[in-house]
Structure 1
Amino acid sequence: MSVVELKIDLEAERREILKRYRKLLRTAKPFLKDNDAKLIKKAFTLAADAHKDMRRKTGEPYIYHPIAVAQICVEEIGLGTTAIICALMHDVVEDTTITLDEIEAIFGTKVAKIIDGLTKIAGIFEQGASAQAENFRKLLLTLSEDVRVILIKLADRLHNMRTLSSMSRDKQLKIASETTYLYAPLAHRLGLYAIKTELEDLYLKYAEPKVYKEIAAKLKSTKTRRQQFIREFIRPIEKDLKAEGMSFAVKGRPKSIHSIWNKIKNQGKTFEEIYDLFAIRVILDSTPEHEKAICWRAYSIVTDHYRPNPERLRDWISNPRANGYESLHTTVMSHSGQWVEVQIRSRRMDEIAEKGYAAHWKYKGNQTNVNEGIDAWLNQVREVLEHNDKSAIEFINDFRGHLFQDEVFVFTPKGDLKVLQAGSTALDFAYSIHSQIGSRCLGAKVNGKLVEISHTLKNGDQVEILTSTKQSPREDWLKFVVTTKARANIKEALKEINRQYVTDGRDIVARKLKVLGLELTFDVTNQLRAFFNSRDPNDLFYRFGKGYLQPDEIKRWRIARDSHKKAQEAKAALNGTIEDGKALVKELKRLHGDRPDSDMLLIGEDMDKIDYTLASCCNPIPGDEVFGFVTINEGIKIHKTTCKNARELLSTHGNRVIKAKWTSQLVAFLAGIRIKGTDRVGLVNDVTKIISKEHKVNMRSIIVDTNEGGIFDGKIKLYVHDTEHLNILIAKLKKVKGIFEVIRFEYAD
C-alpha cells in the first residue's frame, strides 16, 4: 500500500470515528446537563489518543469498540453521562499506559471506581485458580458500590458478541460459553430482556451454528404466513380498543431462536410442532394510576374474541417479578385452532421490560413495589458479596444461584409480600427475614398448619416462623435450602462450628505425612483432596478431624500415587510439566514442528505422546466438534463443545482449554441412539438386523420399553467410527416401518 493510499484510509477512518462519536452525542442529548458534553468530549479524546495505535481483530480502529459500548449504554440500556464516560474509557487502564490515579484526578473517584471494576486483574494465578472467575468476582464486588459497573460490562459483552465472527474458533467457544453461563442470566436478573435474548441467540450462533442457521431459515421461510396470521388475529382486538378510545400499539414478534431451540431440545419437539412461535404484545398509553385497570380492560377485550387457557394466565401486574418485570400474559385459542400468547402492558411497563434496571430507576417513586423488588435483590447480592472468603469458582456458583428465573410469592403473618426463588422452603423464608431467625428456625406454620423447616412453599402461602434459642444450623440443612442467602449463612455458621475439626484434621494429616517422609504442601493437599473426593481442602481436613477418614488411609493414596507416577514417567519425560493450556500448546508446537495445526491436540495421532482420555460425561466420537481440557489430576480430557459441562469449563477455566481435532483412525467409539415408534411384531428384529448385519455394527446394550399406548421406546449403545457413520445408520433406521424418531442421545458412563 502506498503512502497516499494509507493517508486516504486514515482520513476515512478519522471521519468514521467522528461520525460515530457525534451519533453518540445526539442519542445522549436528552440526558445531558450543564457541563456533561465537555466531560464526554474529554473522555473521548483521552480514549481515542490512548487507543490510537491499537486495532481490533477485524482490522478496525480499536476506538470503534468503546464508542459502540457507550452507544449501547445510552440507546439500549438508557444510562447517562457517568456511564458514557466510563464506557469510553473502560479499556484504557487495562490496555494502555494510563493509570487509575490519572483518571481519578481528571474525572473523580466515582468514575475511577467503576473503571477499576471493569479492569481485569493482572498477574499470575496459583494452580487450580481461574483467571476468568477471579475477574468476574472482582467485577461483582464493585456492584456493592455502583450497579452501573455491571450494566456497562453487559454492554461491553454485547458488542463483543456482535463482533465475535473475527475471533478464532476456540476463542468464540470460550467467550460464547462464558456469555450464556454468566452474562445472559445476569441480564435477565436485571430485567434487560432484549439484551438477554440477543446474548442467548448469539451464543447459539457460535456454539451450534448448524442448529442456529436451520431455525433462522425456518423462521424466515414462515415469516409471510406468520405476518398474515398476526394481521387477521389482531384486527378485531384493534377495532374494540379504538372503540374504547384507548391509545395503543400492537406488535407481533417471533420467539427468540434460543428459546425455540430450548423447546425443541427439552420437549423433544420439531420446529413445526411448537405452537407458540410468536407472541402478540399490546402496549397501552396510560397514566401510572390507571394502567392496571386499563390493562385488565384490554385483557377483557382479547378474551371476548378468543377463548383463554385458564392455566396460562400470568398476572405480573399485581405481583411484579423480582427484577421489576410487569405484564399480563394469557394464552388464547385463535379461530384457526392455534394457541397464541398475548402480552398486555403499559408503555412504562414495556420500557422497563426492554431496558430493565436503568428504566426502573427512571420511574423510581412512582412504582415502589417494582423498586423494592430490584432493590431487595441488590441488597441480597451485597450480602452474598460480604461472604468473600471462598474460592472464586465457589463464589460464582453461589452467585449463579441468585440468577434464578422462576419465583414464588408468599406472605408474612402481617400480610407483607416476600418474593423467593421457586422451590424455596420454610427455612429459606426464615433466612430471608433475618440470618438469626434462620439460624434459630425450629419449624413453621404455613396457612395455620405446622410444617417442617424443609417444607416447600407455594404461591400464596402465609408463613409464620417458629424459633428456639437452642436451635443451631446443621449440615443437612444445605440439602433442602435453595436461596443463596440461606446457603451462605448456613455455610458461615457451620464453618465456625467446624473450624476446630478442620484444625485437628490438618494436624492429623500433617503428622501422618511426616511419618511417610512427606510434607503437607499445596500440591499434596490437592492430590489428597482429589483422591478422597473432597470438595476443597477444608472439607478434606474436616473429614479427618471428625474421624470419617482414618490416618492409615493416607497410605492408600501414597501407593496409588507412586504407581501412577511410574506409569507416567515415560510420558512426563517427553511432555514436561503441563499445568495449563499455554504449557500444553507450547509442548504440542515442539512435538508437531512447523505445520498449520501445530497448536492443536491431534486425537489419535498424539496418543503415544500426550496423555489424554475421552470424557465420560459426553463420550465424543470422530466428527463431533471437541476441545481439550487440562485437568489437575486426571490428565487431558476431550469434551464435545455441546457437552453439558462445556459451558462451565469454558467459562471458568479458559486458561486450561486447548484446541483439539480428530485425525483419521479405524477405531470404534461408543455412541447412543434413541428410537421411538409404533410397536409391532418383528420391529426389534428389523432394527437389530440393520445395525448388526447390514452395517456390521457391534451393540453394547439395547433397552426396549413399550407403554400402554403401544409406543415403542428403545435406547441402544453401539460402536461406530465417526459421526458420518452414525448419521448413515440413523437415516437407514428412520426408514423402518413404524419408526417415527431416531436421535443420538448423550449419556454418561
Structure 2
Amino acid sequence: MYLFSGLKEQLQSYLDASQVQEVEQAYVLARDAHDGQLRSSGDPYITHPVAVAKILASLHLDHQTIMAAILHDVIEDCEVTAEELTDKFGERVSDLVEGVSKLTQIKFRSREEAQAENFRKMMMAMVEDLRVVLIKLADRLHNMRTLGSLRPDKQRRIAKETIEIYAPIANRLGMYAIRQELEELGFAAKHPMRYRVIRDSVKKARGNRKEIVSSICNNIQSRLDTEHIVADVTGREKSPFSIYQKMLEKVGEKTKVFDDIMDVYGFRVTTDSEDNCYRVLGQLHNLYRPVPGRFKDYIAIPKANGYQSLHTTLKGPHGLHIEVQIRTTTMDQMAENGVAAHWLYKSGNDINRAEIRAREWMRNLLELQKNTGDSLEFIESVKIDLFPDEVYIFTPNGNIIELPKKATPVDFAYAIHTDVGNSCIACKVDGKISALSSELSNGQTVEIITAPGAKPNPGWLSFVTTSKARTNIRHFIKNLRRDDAINLGKRLLEKALGGVSIESVDPDIVKKVLKETRHAEFDDILAEIGLGQTASIIIAHRLDPKVETASHEKKEENVPLAIKGTEGMMIEYARCCHPIPGDPIVGTVSTSGGFILHRQDCNNVANHRAHLDKYVPVQWEKNIEGDFRVELRVDVVNQHGVLAKVTSLIADEGVNIVNIEIDAKDGTTNLLSFLVDVKNRLHLANIIKKIRLYDFVIKVSRHR
C-alpha cells in the first residue's frame, strides 16, 4: 500500500473518510488486476494509474473521478468487465472507466482509423460527462512525463498527437497549466534538437534579462502602490514551445528571429477586482507608451474557453516591448485550471464560465457527430474547432458571436443556427451588401439575408473556416448526391428494363433481389447504380432474366437516356469538349460515380460505338434549362479597346464570363479565349453572330 499512501494524504485534505475508503478499495482492485504487468520503463504498471489519480487529486476532483482514474485501464488490459465495476463501485464510476477505455475489440483498416474512432468515442463520452476528458488529459500528461522509455519513432507519433489534439483540448477547456506542460513535453519529444537549442539559448539570455525584468516589475509595482491599487506584479519567461511558435511565424522575415522574440518581456498583474484591472491598465498606459492595435479586452468579451484578462503591449525602457496581462485573482485561477476550477475553487453546484463555454462546445460536438460520415472526418472537424484565434462579430441586435480568424458571413450564419446557414443567400456587413466569402474583422455587425427554399452552395466549402459550417454543408451535399444518385439509377435501370417502370415489377421479385444483394431497401440499389458502383443491366437481369438477351439484340435500337442538364453532383460535363444542349452527346460512368457527358465527336470517346458496354446513348431533354460552359475563341486585330468591346458584348447577352486568356499570335493579331456559360447552341450562335459584326474580328469559333 506504499504507492497509495501519497495519494491518500492528498485525498484526505479535501474528501470525507468514507470517500477515501472507497478510493482505496478501487486501488486494491486495480493493483491486483495489474499484478505482474510492467510499463515500458520497467516500473510496475499500477504506478501509472496512481500517478494519473494524483494529478487529478491536485485539482480536487471528486472521489468517483479519482476511482475511475485508478481503474481506467482495467477493462482494456485486465480480465475485469464493466459489469463487475458497476457491481462494486456503481454505474457512474463504471461509465467513466468505459468512456476512457479504448475500443480494443474492433478491428480497423489502419492505425489512423482506430485512433480516430477512439477519439470520437472519448469525445462522445465527454459530452455525457466532462470528467472523462479530465481523466484522459491526466493520463496523457503522465504518459508524456514518462515518454523517454519508448522508441524515438513512437515518441514522435505520441508527441504529434499530443500537440495537435490533447493540448488544444486542454486549452478549449481553459486548463492553461496542463496545456502548457503538454505542449512543452510534446515539443521536447517531437523536435528534441530544436528544443535543446532554444532551451540553452534561453538559459544564456536569462542572466542579462533578470535585471531588466526586476527593474520593470519594481517600476510597475511602485506606480500601483502610489495610486493605492492592491496588486501583485510578476515577470514571466517565455517557454521554449511559445518561442518556437513565434519563430515559425517570423520565418522569411529579414531579422534575427530569436533575438527579436527574446526582446519581448512578459508580465502579469493580478489584483482583487474587475474595476481595479481597468485602473491598473490606465496606470500602465501612463507609465509606458502603449503600442497601437495591441490591446485586447478579454474581460468584457471572454475567449471561447471562458478565459478573462486584459492584454496590452507597451514600449518599455530602451524601446523594449512589454506584454502585460491584467486580471483578478479569480480570473487567474480560472485561466490556470479552467473547467477543473469548478472542483478546485468552488463548492456546491456553482458552474464557472469555462464550464459554461465547455458545455456549449460539447453541444456543438453532438451536432458534428450526427452530421459527419466517419471518424476521420469527425476528428478533422474537431481539429478545425480546436484552434480558434477568435474574432468577435455583432448581430444586428447587438449580440456577440465568437468565430475563428478568417471566418466568413457563412460561418457567422451557421454559428447563429443551422437553418440560418442552410437558407442563407446574401449578407450585409456594417450595413453594406458584401460577398459571402469576405473575411470578417473584429467588431463588425453582420446581417444574414435568408430565403425560404434556399440551399447551401457546395462552393462554400472552399472558404468556410468553422467545423459547424463545413460539416453541415457536407451533410447537405451527401444527401443531395444520394437523391441525385437514386433518380439517375432509376432512369438507368428502367432503360435497361426496356422502358418498363420499376413500380410495375412484382414486389416479391423486388424482395428476392433485396435479399440476394443484402440491401435494406431498393433505393440503396438505385443509388449504387447511379454512382456507378453496380451495373444497371445486372440488376435488370435479376428482376427479369429475359432482359439481358433482349438488350443484346436491340443495342442499337435502345431509346437514349434523357439528360435533364444541371442535375447536381451526378452529371458532369466533360472539360475536354464542353457539351451544351443541342450537341449530339454520349455518356459514360465515371470512376468516382456519376455520369460524364461528351460530345459524340470528342476525340476522347471516338471509339464509343465499338464499346457500347462502356458508353450509354443519351440525349438532351426537351426544354432543358441551365447554364452550360463552353470555350469561345476570337481572332482579332491588335488594336486599342478590342478586349473591352468583345467582353461588353458578351456580358450584354446575359452571359457569365468565367475566364479570359489572351495569346499574342504576332505583332498584329491576338487570340482571345473566353470560357463562358450559355443556355444552348442557339444562344451561343447568337453571340458568335454579333461578335462577327465587329470589323476588327478576323474569326470566331467554338473550341472543339
Q: TM-score, normalised by structure 1?
A: 0.64
Residue matched to 1:506:
528
Hey, what's the Cα distance between the residues in 1 that align with 2:354 and 2:192? 38
Q: Please report how far the alpha carbon of residue 232 of structure 1 lies from its aligned counterpart in structure 2 after TM superposition.
A: 0.7
CA offsets per residue over residues 521-555 of structure 1, 9 Å max, x none? Answer: xxxxxxxxxxxxxxxxxxxxx99943468646669
Mark the CA change 1:543 to 1:473 in structure 2 (over 3 Å): closer, same or farther: closer
Residue matched to 1:380:
364
CA contact (8 A) 1:321 1:373 kept: no
Q: Please report how far the alpha carbon of residue 59 of structure 1 lies from its aligned counterpart in structure 2 after TM superposition.
A: 1.4
Residue matched to 2:257:
270
Residue matched to 1:329:
311
1:213 and 2:196 correspond: yes
CA contact (8 A) 1:425 1:457 kept: yes
Hey, what's the Cα distance between the residues in 2 that align with 1:513 and 1:178? 45
Q: Secondary structure at the match of 2:36?
A: coil
* One-letter amino acid of the structure 1 residue matched with residue 287 of structure 2: H
- Alignment match of 2:299 (pick from 297, 310, 317): 317
Hey, what's the Cα distance between the residues in 2 that align with 1:510 and 1:373? 45
* One-letter amino acid of the structure 1 residue matched with residue 278 of structure 2: W
Residue matched to 2:377:
394
CA offsets per residue over residues 658-705 of structure 1, 9 Å max, x none? Answer: xxxxxxxxxxxxxxxxxxxxxxxxxxxxxxxxxxxxxxxxxxxxxxxx
Q: Secondary structure at the match of 2:357?
A: helix
CA contact (8 A) 1:441 1:453 kept: no
Q: Please report how far the alpha carbon of residue 308 of structure 1 lies from its aligned counterpart in structure 2 after TM superposition.
A: 1.5
Hey, what's the Cα distance between the residues in 2 that align with 1:173 and 1:375? 32
- Alignment match of 2:19 (pick from 25, 36, 54): 36
- Alignment match of 1:357 (pick from 321, 339, 342): 339
Residue matched to 2:115:
132
CA contact (8 A) 1:329 1:344 kept: yes
Residue matched to 1:459:
442
Mark the CA change 1:236 to 1:399 in structure 2 (over 3 Å): closer, same or farther: same
Residue matched to 1:121:
103
Q: Please report how far the alpha carbon of residue 511 of structure 1 lies from its aligned counterpart in structure 2 after TM superposition.
A: 4.8
Q: Please report how far the alpha carbon of residue 367 of structure 1 lies from its aligned counterpart in structure 2 after TM superposition.
A: 8.7
Mark the CA change 1:358 to 1:543 in structure 2 (over 3 Å): closer, same or farther: same
Q: Secondary structure at the match of 2:269?
A: strand
Mark the CA change 1:130 to 1:403 in structure 2 (over 3 Å): closer, same or farther: same
Residue matched to 2:243:
260
Mark the CA change 1:40 to 1:400 in structure 2 (over 3 Å): closer, same or farther: same
1:495 and 2:474 correspond: no
Hey, what's the Cα distance between the residues in 2 that align with 1:413 and 1:27? 51
Q: Secondary structure at the match of 2:393?
A: strand
CA radius of gyration, larger in: 2
Hey, what's the Cα distance between the residues in 2 that align with 1:463 and 1:543? 30
Q: Secondary structure at the match of 2:209?
A: helix
Hey, what's the Cα distance between the residues in 2 that align with 1:246 and 1:28? 37
CA offsets per residue over residues 28-66 of structure 1, 9 Å max, x none? Answer: 345424632122112122112212211211111211111
- Alignment match of 2:183 (pick from 175, 184, 200): 200
Residue matched to 2:606:
none
Residue matched to 2:392:
409
1:282 and 2:264 correspond: no
1:107 and 2:132 correspond: no
Mark the CA change 1:130 to 1:369 in structure 2 (over 3 Å): closer, same or farther: closer
| Superposition CA RMSD, Å | 2.7
Q: Please report how far the alpha carbon of residue 410 of structure 1 lies from its aligned counterpart in structure 2 after TM superposition.
A: 1.6
CA contact (8 A) 1:100 1:116 kept: yes
Residue matched to 1:49:
32
CA offsets per residue over residues 201-250 of structure 1, 9 Å max, x none? Answer: 21221221111111111111222222221111111211232344444332
CA contact (8 A) 1:254 1:277 kept: no
Correspondence list, 1:493-642, <5 A = 493-503=476-486, 504=489, 506-507=528-529, 509-511=532-534, 545-547=570-572, 551=588
Tell which deviates more after alignment, 118-127 or 138-147: 118-127
Hey, what's the Cα distance between the residues in 1 that align with 2:41 and 2:363? 40
Query: Matched residues, percent identical?
Result: 37
Q: Please report how far the alpha carbon of residue 157 of structure 1 lies from its aligned counterpart in structure 2 after TM superposition.
A: 0.6
Hey, what's the Cα distance between the residues in 2 that align with 1:373 and 1:298? 27
Correspondence list, 1:463-482, <5 A = 463-482=446-465
CA contact (8 A) 1:57 1:167 kept: yes
CA contact (8 A) 1:512 1:551 kept: no
Mark the CA change 1:366 to 1:69 in structure 2 (over 3 Å): closer, same or farther: closer
Hey, what's the Cα distance between the residues in 2 that align with 1:544 and 1:453? 22
CA offsets per residue over residues 483-531 of structure 1, 9 Å max, x none? Answer: 111222222222222213345363153455999xxxxxxxxxxxxxxxx
Mark the CA change 1:449 to 1:270 in structure 2 (over 3 Å): closer, same or farther: closer
Hey, what's the Cα distance between the residues in 2 that align with 1:326 and 1:544? 46
Hey, what's the Cα distance between the residues in 2 that align with 1:160 and 1:299? 41
Q: Please report how far the alpha carbon of residue 93 of structure 1 lies from its aligned counterpart in structure 2 after TM superposition.
A: 0.8
Residue matched to 2:214:
231
CA contact (8 A) 2:393 2:442 kept: yes
- Alignment match of 2:323 (pick from 341, 362, 370): 341
Mark the CA change 1:502 to 1:39 in structure 2 (over 3 Å): closer, same or farther: farther
Mark the CA change 1:196 to 1:369 in structure 2 (over 3 Å): closer, same or farther: closer
* One-letter amino acid of the structure 2 residue matched with residue 281 of structure 1: R
Tell which deviates more after alignment, 407-416 or 153-162: 407-416
Mark the CA change 1:514 to 1:273 in structure 2 (over 3 Å): closer, same or farther: farther
1:297 and 2:284 correspond: no
* One-letter amino acid of the structure 1 residue matched with residue 454 of structure 2: Q
Q: Secondary structure at the match of 2:426?
A: strand
Q: Please report how far the alpha carbon of residue 354 of structure 1 lies from its aligned counterpart in structure 2 after TM superposition.
A: 0.8
* One-letter amino acid of the structure 2 residue matched with residue 27 of structure 1: Q
Q: Please report how far the alpha carbon of residue 116 of structure 1 lies from its aligned counterpart in structure 2 after TM superposition.
A: 0.8
Hey, what's the Cα distance between the residues in 2 that align with 1:62 and 1:247? 49
1:444 and 2:444 correspond: no
CA contact (8 A) 1:31 1:80 kept: no
Q: Secondary structure at the match of 1:401?
A: helix
Q: Please report how far the alpha carbon of residue 126 of structure 1 lies from its aligned counterpart in structure 2 after TM superposition.
A: 4.2
Hey, what's the Cα distance between the residues in 2 that align with 1:264 and 1:100? 48
Hey, what's the Cα distance between the residues in 2 that align with 1:322 and 1:30? 33
Mark the CA change 1:44 to 1:416 in structure 2 (over 3 Å): closer, same or farther: same
Residue matched to 2:654:
none
1:155 and 2:138 correspond: yes
Mark the CA change 1:544 to 1:316 in structure 2 (over 3 Å): closer, same or farther: closer
Aligned residue pairs: how many?
A: 506
Q: Please report how far the alpha carbon of residue 360 of structure 1 lies from its aligned counterpart in structure 2 after TM superposition.
A: 5.4
CA contact (8 A) 2:232 2:270 kept: yes
